[in-house]
Chain A
Amino acid sequence: MATSTVLKKPTAFYEIFERKPDADKINTHYCPGCGHGKLHKLIAEAIEDFGIQDRVIMINPVGCSVFLYYYFDVGHIQVAHGRAPAVATGIKRVHPHSIVISYQGDGDLGAIGGNEILHAANRGEHITVFFVNNAIYGMTGGQMAPTTLPGMKTTTTPRGRDIRNEGYPLRMAELIATLEAPVYVERVALTDAKNMAKARKAVRKALQIQIEGKGFAFVEALSTCPTGWGMNPPEAEKWVNEVMTKYFPLGVFKDISDKVEPVKFDKKVLTPEEIKKAIGVNGDSATYVKNYRKNIIPEKYKNPKIKVAGFGGQGILLLGLVLAQAGMLEEYHVSWLPSYGPEMRGGTANCHVNISETEIASPLVSIPTVLIAMNRPSLEKFQPTVKSGGIIFYDNSLIDIEPSRKDVEIVPVPATKIADDIGSTKVANMVMLGAYIGYTGVLTKDSIFDALDITVKRRELNELNRRAIEEGIKFVL
């Protein structure tokens, strides 16, 4: 009886390794004396004992343990080199009830995936990471790992790792333990019975923490690679115990598992109506058609292609947005396009607005029929582009030159001065807006006022905005 218990595989392992492509479906692909098999067994036993087999998702890394899916009878995701913690993050976040195990080697975790592990740990992802450190790239033929010891010969350090050339071995457990979020960080060795007992305990604890919803757990396992090291298994075990542990001391580097509160993951499920409301498309902020009494618009002002330009901070983009919004309220086709790019942060701003009775092809206004210029550089830059027969509005309280074009209508508006007079320079844009609609008849005051309430988030400002618009209209009439 006792014998059969010993021989029985943990249920978390497949009885027969069907996914293994070679003829041998019973033994693993690992070399004799390799540490992976030992760690696999500890994990499989823990999965069985905790009764979590259905919930486990293993992230299969790159390296010798790429074939975890041959052995473990759990869900598997095979991933790119180093990215296991990011993939683990993705799956755990969308399925918090799952138990996500990221199993990684030293090149995977310490080198190419250094960034991913650091940030997953730092976010305190609710995942369990098993880090197998054998100081070498075993699968690819024995190249240097970030954990290769100084002086150690590998195929890419044929004279031995020279710290002046390759730097120092990375102590990942210590590094991770310096972060705030990780709950539990321990280094164990997969060697003799005493160390294996500690490793067994660490594996269980790391999984327990995830099951309880406590957070990020990290177990580094010093592991033998007799093939990569050119040793026999007993020599390899001895080397781990006597040499590796000197550089990579065993022990617990961090454990706050009895201090952290477990997280409860609640799943929010919304009805279609709730979804629409939550993202603001349920119609509350949508525009319903109102019958505005439209002005009679002279033919030459119809279907304007407007360029609004000035300093950043003058409310240039807002002026354009309010025009577009009001245009939409009046059932025109509209588009608004901001200048963006280096100019965005460089102090000047402009936007393109189309208000059209027909569908708008190009939203770009390269030859405006209307230029609203709020500063001198804008007037100078854009006045040559205005269409012959077009119209230029400019703030003559701020711009000390006059437009030179003779083939366009020119409307000077002392917008900044008027704004100052009513109490705030900031509403010069609205004075200009008022002047534009007042002069051309394009859009009504009513639709503009409604547009303000939709566009301006701080509605308390709209009282002054409305006054500024009235002043602008008054000025041109």
Chain B
Amino acid sequence: MAKQLMKGNEAVVRGAILAGCRAFFGYPITPASEIAEAAALLMPEVGGVFIQAESEIGAINMVFGAASGGVRAMTASSSPGISLIQEGVSYAAGAELPMVIVDIMRGGPGLGNIAPEQADYNQVVKGGGHGNYKVIVLAPNSVQEMCDLTYLAFDLAEKYRTPVYVLADGFIGQMVEPVEFPEPKIPKIDKSWCVDGTSETRHNLITSIYLAPEDLEKHNLKLKEKYERIKKEEVRYEAYRTEDAEVILMGYGIVSRILKSVVDIMREEGYKVGLLRPITLFPFPEQKIRELAKVAQIFFVVELSTGQMVDDVKLALNGMREVKFYGRCGGVVPSAEEILQQVKLVFEEIEKEIEHQK
């Protein structure tokens, strides 16, 4: 199929509709607004629903309602809006509702600014709402993946009956690249659990309340078991020139693209450096990290934050290897050349260490 040039935020909505999403509820916020705008334009064209909600709280609860009806539903927002959405995500995780939430991250804390940042990692991947829950988090790094991972997100959400995030930064949302679109899906409503105003579903109950402590504990353990299953089955990553790498660069989203440039330049200069890009942030590619640590001496994590994902890299390695961090934030995006200088320092350190050991 031929490709089309398209903006990331617009590819998201097309990916969603092709996945069978027929309900979008959102509240405008830069740099995610194009998603709502595209949904406003396109949803009615395919017999879907679009509502601009009164707030992000309203939006996520409308998604909650539509998802309860077994219909593929979504919202999209950016960092401060995601903070408001968290209440609804906790309820949806508890009620085991499939839904997709797109977060086009901007600068924080507070009002911050509208430039790209990756400082929502903690509030999204670690779950910003209350209770013992996890959400699947997909991190696209191209316009093609904005479409493909949104498309995938709906299947995963339904397979595990859980909220799924597509976590991107302002650059990935605003960027224009060629996209090839997948085939449309016409999903069926699963009447076994949903509530859709028919006799078949009359006895169904969507709820997150378990009054008796024993019942709630049981429910929590059931959720935990589900998250363990997700950890086993849904890890996705891209390993680039990692086979013999002494230093592994790690980053997601726009950063992973910059890191790829760094790897290419440094490889030409003879440095044994590779890139591990998590595509799923939960589940995190822990095993792959440990596998690479058999050869790699140092893991070098780059984020548009003061350091959030780096904690998960450290947890995965559990002291096996040294983890270094380089971050820029507030909307400042490091160039490949800037990162390259930092990575070269790491190689110098390794050299010194080897000298020292001799």
Chain A interface residues toward B at CB < 8 A:
19, 21, 53-57, 59-60, 66, 69, 73-80, 83, 86-95, 97-100, 115-116, 118-119, 123, 267-270, 272, 275-276, 278-281, 283, 285-289, 321, 324-325, 328, 333-338, 340-342, 344, 360-364, 366-367, 454
Contacts and interface: CB of A to CB of B under 8 A. Distances in A.
A59 B66 CA distance: 12
Contact of B54 (A54, A119, A272, A334): A119
Contact of A93 (B49, B184, B197): B49
B5 A328 contact: yes
Contacts of B207: 60, 69, 76-78
A324 B5 contact: yes
A90 B64 contact: yes
Given A91-B69, A281-B4, A363-B257, A83 B202 contact: no
Contact of B206 (A54, A76, A270): A76
B326 to A, nearest CB: 15
Contacts of A55: 197-198
User: Could you say which of B59, B61, B203 has the most chain A C-beta atoms within 10 Å of its C-beta?
Assistant: B61
Contacts of A59: 65
Given A94-B22, A270-B46, A279-B46, A66 B209 contact: yes
B69 A83 contact: no
Given A57-B195, A80-B61, A288 B202 contact: no
Contacts of B186: 272
B335 interface: yes
Given A86-B65, A91-B195, A363 B31 contact: no
Contact of B88 (A56, A77, A80): A80
A333 B67 CA distance: 39
A344 B331 CA distance: 14
B347 interface: no
Interface of B: 1-5, 13-14, 17-18, 22-23, 25, 30-31, 42, 45-47, 49, 51, 53-55, 57-59, 61-69, 71, 73, 87-88, 91, 95, 113-115, 170-171, 174-178, 181, 183-184, 186, 195-199, 201-209, 211-212, 215, 254, 257-258, 260-261, 263-264, 331, 333, 335-338
Given A275-B18, A340-B114, 10 more contacts: A56-B197, A76-B204, A76-B205, A95-B71, A98-B69, A99-B197, A336-B177, A341-B114, A341-B170, A366-B338
B113 A342 contact: yes
Contacts of A73: 202-203
Given A60-B207, A119-B58, A279 B177 contact: no
Contacts of B73: 90, 94
14 contacts: A21-B215, A76-B195, A77-B195, A83-B58, A90-B65, A93-B51, A115-B57, A283-B1, A287-B2, A361-B264, A362-B257, A364-B257, A364-B336, A366-B335
Contacts of B13: 279
B178 A87 contact: no
A293 B42 CA distance: 37
A243 B225 CA distance: 54
Contacts of A287: 2-5, 178
Contacts of B4: 281, 285-287
